[in-house]
Chains A and B, each alone.
Chain A
């Protein structure tokens, strides 16, 4: 490859100044003339029949412009995963299934009027029995949430590879255990906001804090019986996603519906943090049963996994999150005999859905605990057991995943070196410990049929300004910068020449959105191809004008160069663009649609198929200190090595990893989204729901392993989600190393650990000594 000038360099975020000076425009900053305030009436019951809704009194209130209920909708559910999975209406119809479910919405002149109007809406309910625990929900006496969903099972999947029964019977060691993970909030800095405007000509303009504008367009059109292109989702900055803004937030349709009732008056719905905590999606909590078998040398022989995922009251993406979580049991390490099953079960709680890592941090927490236990039983080092079973480049896994580039072993080696693993294992200090864990994560993929693509236009102006149009979304992860770098590198211009227009569904070509750790990979490929197209067009016209063969033309530093006989700088690229006043040149718009070529649609039944074009790997080590008297865990250091392919911008990549480590520490040690016995959310603000502050984040060392990926733009892979997967497992393993106690449920709060330490002591005291 030629020497890179921009890509792989630490270019500052092109949005950085705007964002830190408050000039970047988020949805909350959008102010439109005549804008109304929208508010939502929510269910006070975890489960109830709606007997009647009377909005007459509320409608009479001066200042109220619109009130909508399910009766104003065509009663079509959101698509999400499609088919029988679609079960959620934009507004509750006849029945509510969780506290906080949307029943009606109001648009009025100000917040106070909205509040009053909401109070005036009369709803009569017949409360129904409810169920909050997924295992109970599967039981014979549990109330059913949805028709045709026996035992409240929304989705079930199972798969079998090889002969697990035989392999377990013949194994030298078998370990097994039950594990539990909690619900977690995404904690985006920007609480969800949406603005909708309806014009009498039928056009709808939307501004929303979303990760996936094209999904919003599709879903809103579907549930309201509109044509997708009647809806234009506009470009805004988005203050965080982490999966919580993925696909659609269900409020976009409600806002649109309100706006349609008052043409010309835009409507804004802005959630408070409390709303967000009480009603938006949270990470899927899982109960995991896992069994692992290995031979005498520590080679894995078989795996058996059964997952019960808490779906909440409706389907979002939890069924697919459960499937991906289960997949980890046979792709993390090489294993031939597998039984895997997963249940996604309805409960009367807010919907659970994807969060950074997509079910992987949960199952990896269990898997990596057992890797350590196997090592323990065989008297091996946890590091060694992982090296023996780690994936190699160019390997095909039992589920058909075709690994191309793979830095798994190198990641393991590098983190072990960095923490001085051998030394720390030899010289053990009581209360201190180290733990190690790995991850594998697909980049992009055909998780949705034919959804592994992105597209881009690259326009060049006569002033040399390059405008990259992409459907990809910057949710704070810095993708605008990364894509600008790809364009600048490919076209041969300076980064300052590049502007990025993203996520405007009317002007930018289609992209599924910022999820599946795919934006740099898919968006990058599309932008690279579109830039190549633009470059070809420029050199073609330059060749005509300059009367030299096109092959002898190059673009460098924003100029067209003739390369032979001696390199000679001709003219800035803009001189060959049509809108130049001198009218030389042509109109330049590079275009590209990039789609993965080797991948197969994810088969939810068999689990077989090469879903992703490439896979990213990591290893984390955590070093902890446990205060055995209080149960407090101090994370002293985390070293994270990530195979990211070529790091398009190392600073941004490290930012993703460091942010994930902080989030992973919260997930492992502090964060717990809980409901009381009535199904009410317990912690509704950051005073009670604790996320790590800077003081809780330890020294972090990030190591980038950069094999050039054959399919990635300049060799890059995704990093957004992989970065979170290994952290919880590494910390839990380090706690075991420190005090010999295996924690099997998250979060490992001081109180919980303290209890476990005490119990362990009692057990030790009452276990008779061996004679």
Chain B
């Protein structure tokens, strides 16, 4: 049996103090759906766990033009937030497909990115959204693009003593549509074989003004497929164009073979899902224009 004490700070300052005080012997605990399982599989536990879900300022969605999500917000709340749903459908979808109801009620968005597995379902949407991650320690605060936050499988940019304190999503233009699609062998409670997030903004004349294509589970970290994005920008949507972009994404993806899927199959899925995601994001962008 693993033994540890759980500390329950009431505010961020207290939390940061505790982190510093017990440095090397403490870990933040959010929903625990990754952390506690690690312990069960034999990873050594620190003496203290710092429960950050009881810190009110880390546990809410703030909307003021941009959207700021507290890292301890659980994935049910993220997937059901009206603002997130209407502006960042892909993030609501990414959060909404994690695990099961029970898991989403516990699991947090901060935990999902801090855990930093290649298949994390909120990562491609955050990447496609150009989100940034705010971190704080006793020493101060810094912010970085989410793309820089992921360093490798289960490796992130946090320094000891630092907490993720906010995830920021920029304000969006009109005529923007987004989607997150993941391929799993089983409908629910399964990890992504491939995850694709696409966010697409149209000009008034319906050319693609801006587009982001992000992939999960096909490389050590979630990736943006810039080549595909470049190809799309400035053009009106067409099936052929989406095919071509999808082909670029397929070439770009560097998946591994494991028990779940071979690398070759993952690449095929990347092509199919990128193509479909671009088409659907485009549809949504058009609907967004007509105010649906």
A residues at B contact (CB < 8 Å): 629-630, 632, 670, 682-683, 687-688, 690, 692-696, 749-751, 754
A630-B272, A683-B259 given; A754·B265 CB < 8 A:
yes
Question: Which chain B residue has the least Cβ–Cβ distance from A672?
Answer: B259
**Closest residue of chain B to A669, judged by CB?**
B185
Instruction: Known contacts A629-B272, A630-B269, A630-B272; decide if A693 and B262 are in contact (CB<8 Å).
Output: no
Q: Which residues on the A side are within 8 Å of B190 (C-beta)?
A: 690, 693
CB A520 to nearest CB in B, in angstroms, measures 32
Given contacts A629-B272, A751-B262, A751-B265, contact A687 B186 (CB under 8 A): no
Inter-subunit contact B186/A696 (CB<8 Å): yes
Instruction: Specify which of A682, A683, A694, A750 is in contact with B185 (CB 8 Å cutoff).
Output: A750
Whole-angstrom CA separation of A629 from B261 in the bound complex: 16
Whether the pair A695, B272 counts as a contact (CB closer than 8 A) is no
Q: Which 7 A-B pairs have the closest CB atoms?
A: A695-B187, A629-B272, A751-B265, A695-B188, A688-B259, A693-B188, A690-B186
A693's partner among B187, B191, B268, B272 (CB-CB below 8 A) is B187
Q: Which one of B183, B186, B189 lies within 8 Å of A630 (CB-CB)? A: B183
B269 contact set on A, CB distance < 8 A: 630
Shortest CB–CB separation between residue A115 and chain B, in angstroms?
11
Pairwise interchain contact A695-B186, C-beta atoms closer than 8 A: yes
- Not counting A693-B189, A751-B265, a sample of 11 additional A-B residue pairs whose C-beta atoms are within 8 angstroms of each other reads A632-B183, A670-B186, A687-B191, A688-B260, A690-B190, A693-B190, A695-B186, A696-B186, A696-B187, A749-B185, A750-B265
Q: Point out which of B189, B259, B261, B269 has the most chain A C-beta atoms below 10 A from its C-beta.
A: B259
A479 to B185, CA, bound (A): 34
In the complex, how many angstroms separate the beta carbon of A232 from the nearest chain B beta carbon?
33
* Nearest-CB residue, chain B, relative to A755: B265
Query: Is A692 a contact of B186 with CB atoms below 8 Å?
Result: yes
Main secondary structure of the interface of A (DSSP, over half): loop
Chain A residues with Cβ below 8 Å from B268 are: 630, 754
* Chain B residues with CB below 8 A from A692, complex form: 186
Residue of A630, A682, A693, A754 ringed by the most chain B CB atoms within 10 A: A630
**Contact-residue size bin, chain B (C-beta under 8 Å from the other chain):** 10 to 19
23 A-B pairs whose Cβ atoms sit less than 8 Å apart in the complex: A630-B183, A630-B268, A630-B269, A630-B272, A632-B183, A670-B186, A682-B259, A687-B191, A688-B259, A688-B260, A690-B186, A692-B186, A693-B187, A693-B188, A695-B186, A695-B188, A696-B186, A696-B187, A750-B265, A751-B262, A751-B265, A754-B265, A754-B268
- Determine the residue in chain B with the shortest Cβ distance to A688: B259
B275 (CB) vs chain A CBs: closest residue: A629
Q: Which residues of B contact A629 (CB under 8 A)?
A: 272
| Chain B residues touching A, majority SS | loop
Most chain B CB within 10 A, of A670, A750, A751, is at A751
Closest to A629 in B: B272
Tell me how far the C-beta of B262 lies from the nearest C-beta in chain A, rounded to whole angstroms. Answer: 6
Chain A: minimal CB distance from B11 (Å): 37
Contacts of B259 in A (CB 8 A): 682-683, 688
Query: Considering only CB atoms, which chain A residue lies closest to B185 in the complex?
Result: A690
Map CB proximity to A onto B165-191 as digits: 1 under 8 Å, 0 otherwise: 000000000000000000101111111
A632 to B268, CA, bound (A): 13
Bound complex: CA of A692 vs CA of B184, how far in Å?
A: 12
Least Cβ–Cβ distance between A39 and chain B, in angstroms: 16
CB proximity of A106 to chain B, nearest CB, Å: 19
Closest approach, in angstroms, between the C-beta of A735 and any C-beta of chain B?
16
How does the 8 Å CB contact mask read for B26-56 relative to A, with 1 for contact and 0 for none? 0000000000000000000000000000000
Closest to B271 in A: A629
**Chain B residue contacts of A682, Cβ below 8 A:** 259
CB contacts under 8 Å to A, within B224-261, are: 259-261
A754 CA to B272 CA in the complex, in Å?
12
Which residues in B have their C-beta under 8 angstroms from that of A632? Answer: 183
CA distance A632 to B269 in the complex (A): 11
Which residue of chain A is the closest to B190 with respect to CB atoms? A690
Contact A751 B261 (CB under 8 A): yes
Question: Chain B residues near A693 (CB, 8 Å)?
Answer: 186-190
Q: How far is the CA of A687 from the CA of B190 in the complex (A)?
A: 7
Q: Mark B265-281, 1 if CB is under 8 A from A, else 0.
A: 10011001000000000
Assembled-state Cα–Cα distance A683/B269 (Å): 23
Cβ distance A523 to chain B, nearest Cβ, rounded Å: 36
Q: In the complex, what's the smallest C-beta–C-beta distance from A652 to chain B, in angstroms?
A: 27
Assembled-state Cα–Cα distance A632/B182 (Å):
13
| B45, chain A: closest CB distance, angstroms | 15
In whole angstroms, what is the CA distance A695 to B259 when docked? 22
Nearest opposing residue in chain A for B268, CB measure:
A754
Measured CB to CB, the closest approach of chain B to A141, in angstroms, equals 30
The chain A residue with its CB closest to the CB of B191 is A687
Complex CA–CA separation, A694 to B187 (angstroms) = 8
Report the bound CA distance from A557 to B185 in whole Å: 53
- Chain A residues with CB under 8 Å of B185's CB are 670, 690, 749-750
Docked Cα-Cα span, A687 to B99, in Å, equals 11
Give bound CA distance, A695 to B190, whole Å. Answer: 11
A690 CA to B272 CA, complexed, in Å? 23
Query: With the chains together, A694 CA to B189 CA distance in Å?
Result: 10
Chain A residue at minimum C-beta to C-beta distance from B269: A630
